[in-house]
Amino acid sequence: MTPFKADLHIHTVLSPCGDLEMSPTAIVDRALERGLDMIAISDHNTTRQVKVTQRVGKEKGLFVLGGVEVTSQEEAHCLCFFETDEQLDAMQEFLDTHLPKIPNDEDRFGYQLIVDENEEIVGEEEYHLLNAIDVDIDGIYDEVHRIGGLFVPAHVNKGTTSLTSQLGFIPPDLRADGLEINKFITRDEIVKKFAYLKRFNFITDSDAHFINNVGDVYNVIYMEHRSFAEFAMALRGEGGRWIDTMAFRGTKTQAS
């Protein structure tokens, strides 16, 4: 298997909390500077900046996984990953249906801009993207799997906008394809504290909102080549593929 460095939680300028420097081209260039082989775009409740970032990445040799960070009815953040344009379009239709129609307040929350390869503004999201959609975690899981994607609750150990912060715990019967932790805990630490989570494999990412943070935290994914299918196998620990969430700390811990 070949090791690939991957940061799978990056926001663009389309997220209201994303810095104005977070254009698709700038993100791809920064990822390559940091030695990354693979990234995922995961804006809040929208996929509309994914395809242009994928085009830029393909041109420059970076694999860009299509994703989105959905805010559930419980106000817990969930990463969702998709393989095809059709799947991204289906997810966007779902989000458009279930996101509250509350106009964005740019002065309070920031801009929600869609930009092209040349960093020209080509559109803007009208409705505030940080709101929770009216679908709970189980409903989001069902829809993501109906479309053919992967469902990974985000930064589950975080003190806000996580399963832990919103529910008080990670449900033992949670349906998910994996879990994301942030840089403040290791897989071994969280599994030691909550032994029932050992059934999951984990990822850890930068959650970058600023260009200098892209690649600050990353996984090393051992797989045959860069693709959605290979990543899915690694997330499930199949066929000798696996994810090392500890590489950025200078240690090596293989998920079971």
The tens digit of pLDDT for each residue in 135-189 reads 999 999 999 999 999 999 999 999 999 999 999 999 999 999 999 999 999 899 9
Q: Is 200 among the domain residues?
A: yes
Q: Which amino acid is at 166?
A: Q
Let me know if residue 178 belongs to a domain.
yes
pLDDT at position 249, please? 55
Domain range for 148: 2-249
Evaluate whether residue 255 is within a structural domain: no
pTM of this structure: 0.94
Residue 36 within a domain = yes
Flag whether 254 is in a domain.
no
- In sequence order, what are the residues at sequence separation of 6 or more whose Cβ sits closer than 8 angstroms to the Cβ of residue 66? 40, 41, 47, 50, 51, 54, 81, 82, 83, 87, 88
256 located within any domain? no
Q: Has residue 37 got a pLDDT over 90?
A: yes
Sorting pLDDT into bands at 50, 70 and 90, what band is 256?
very low
Say what the pLDDT of residue 19 is: 86
Q: How many domains does the chain have?
A: 1
Whichever domain contains 6, its CATH number is 3.20.20.140
The string of DSSP letters for 103-169 reads B--HHHH---EEE-TTS-EEEE--B-TTSPPSS-HHHHHHHHHHHT-EEEE--TT-SSSSHHHHHSS
Q: What's the Cα-to-Cα distance from 95 to each of 69, 156, 230, rounded to whole Å? A: 11, 22, 26
The reply to whether 232 falls in a domain is yes
Residue at 71 is within a domain: yes
